[in-house]
Structure 1
Amino acid sequence: MGAMKLLVVAAVTIVCTAATVAGAQVHHVVGEDRGWDPSTDVASWSSNRVFRVGDKIWFTYSAAHESLVELRSEEDFTSCDVTNPIKMYTDGLNTISLEGEGIRYFASGNTESCKNGLKIPVKIQPKEQNTAQSVGSMAVADGPTLPSASTNLNGLSYLLVVGLSIFLCLLGL
């Protein structure tokens, strides 16, 4: 099974590398296979990421147990005040385009989950030409951010990440 996952990740990487010729942006899947979940260390996940204008960030979560809010300020983010968000997401799968430089604040709509660390600030940097993102041990220019082959992917999350990546790469999104 591990070889199959590696083969699929390699195939997606090849398809997405070809899509970069058309100028595809980076797709960040928050928390990779665990998604937007209280058990995920999203702070560690986001700490080494570079978010750029034009990228997309994907949040996957159980709509029955979680939600996502975009907060107005650093103060709301720090205190986990989710009572007056810019926007609330409850679908279980949300794609957010990162347009414009600056910091956007995302948190769990559940105050307790937010206070337990389910929140991330997303610092959006200017779009750079010919940048490289690391995917496992391979570099992909302006391609999607994918989990490494060593990530323990499981069932639906694995299929969701791979399926969405292939679909978006084929569309050039």
Structure 2
Amino acid sequence: MEGGFCKKIKLRLWILRTLVVMAVTLRCVVGSSNLHRVGDKMGWAPNVNFSEWSSRERFFTGDWLLFNFDKNMYNVLEVNKTSYNGCNDQNFITNITKGGRDVYQLQEPRPYYFLSGRGFCWGGMKLAVMVQNPTPVSAPEPTQSLSSAKNSNYRIGLFFAVVLVIALV
């Protein structure tokens, strides 16, 4: 009997520790930067409208761009605005091509320009993004988004409370 009781206590402690780790992890992830998959499912490839794609995204300092592509066919070069407009891949700033699943962190609030060389830029493989500083968190006015956030936090807290109660019963 006593062995079974000890196993239940150990299980409950393990569940409690797991919940604490999950809560801490969730808290850390909420304030993190975003990963933008360039071109969505199509990736960094011809026949993708990267201007349209970027117009649906908001880019902030600290965010990451993920370029998925065939490294044997394409590359990703950071260039200046003049090279971007003229599809010039000769005097690039940075070649971020590594393995075809490459990430690039947007570290400053400024415009960034990328293109694929070897003539693919002329087929539309170029991307311009405007990076902003995140807006500082201030005392928000009551809005629908605030109530949604409170509701989401309430649901997460409720979920953890229910799991904790079940674990301890």
- TM-score, scaled to structure 1: 0.60
Question: Alpha-carbon deviation of 1:129?
Answer: 4.6
Q: Which amino acid aligns with 2:120?
A: S
Q: Which amino acid aligns with 1:36?
A: W
Question: Alpha-carbon deviation of 1:39?
Answer: 2.4
Query: After the TM superposition, which residues 130-149 of structure 1 pair with which residues of structure 2 at under 5 Å, given as runs?
Result: none
Q: Secondary structure at the match of 1:43?
A: helix
Closer/same/farther in 2, CA of residues 23 and 108 from structure 1, 3 Å limit: same
> Higher helix share goes to which structure?
2
- Of structures 1 and 2, the one scoring higher in RCO (CA 8 A, sep 6+) is 1
Structure 1 segments (4+ residues) deviating >3 Å: 17-22
Give the match for residue 157 of structure 1.
Answer: none
Give the match for residue 114 of structure 1.
Answer: 121
| Structure 1: distance between partners of 2:63 and 2:75 | 22
Q: Structure 1: where are the runs of 5+ without partners?
A: 1-16, 131-138, 141-173
Give the match for residue 96 of structure 1.
Answer: 104
| Structure 1: distance between partners of 2:88 and 2:29 | 42
Structure of larger gyration radius: 2
Aligned length: 115
Give the match for residue 86 of structure 2.
Answer: 79
Give the match for residue 52 of structure 2.
Answer: 44
Q: Structure 2: where are the runs of 5+ without partners?
A: 1-24, 138-147, 150-169
| Structure 2: distance between partners of 1:109 and 1:20 | 38
- TM-score, scaled to structure 2: 0.61
